[in-house]
Amino acid sequence: MIKDKISFLSSIIFFVLSGLIYLDTDRLSDFAAVFPIAIATILVFLSILLLVRSFKVEIKINNDSVSKLKILLLTIVFFGWIYFLERSGFIITSLIAFNMLVLINCESNTPLKQKIFFMMAGTLFIVSLYFGFKNLLQVPLPEGLWFRD
């Protein structure tokens, strides 16, 4: 018996989506199809886990109210990140946006030490992601129009 219908339906939708990704990779070269196939495979695996979980666990949702101001600020940060990505570059824009997201999402009773830890961990992750993509995978990330010679 299905205990969580939303998880069950979500897993079916993700199976269909991964199937569409697999079908769409036929027109790509072998090299270009590696990443979409990897993502689709991960999506199938996670869909299987979600499907199994939908038969075992019933999820109860609490309708906690979310501050409309918080939603507005998060939306502004995301659109600001998209807008400034090409202008100021990936690393600067991502660092500023991530740290703003941490400050917006942290509760007022979160200790300052924990906020600083989240910001430092996020900064380390973004910098390692940047150098991993740029140097290891040779993927060009936006360097910023403002900093070009």
The pLDDT tens digits of the residues spanning 34-57 come to 888 888 899 999 999 888 888 887
| Terminal Cα-to-Cα distance of the chain (whole angstroms) | 64
Q: Are residues 93 and 136 both part of a single domain?
A: yes
Please report whether residue 36 resides in a domain.
yes
Distance CA 58, CA 55 (A): 8
Per-residue pLDDT at 64: 64
Instruction: Look at residue 61 in the predicted model and tell me its pLDDT.
Output: 61
pLDDT score, position 60: 66
How many domains, the chain?
Answer: 2
pLDDT mean values, one per 10 residues, the chain (149 residues): 82 91 85 84 90 77 72 90 85 89 82 88 88 78 67
Domain that holds residue 141: 68-147
**Is residue 101 located within the same domain as residue 131?**
yes
CB-CB neighbours of 7 under 10 Å: 21
Same domain, 92 and 142: yes
Same domain flag for 52 and 74: no
Both 50 and 72 in one domain: the answer is no
- Statement to judge: residues 99 and 142 lie in one domain: yes
pLDDT at 124: 93
The answer to whether 114 and 75 have CB atoms below 8 angstroms apart is no
Residue 105 inside a domain? The answer is: yes
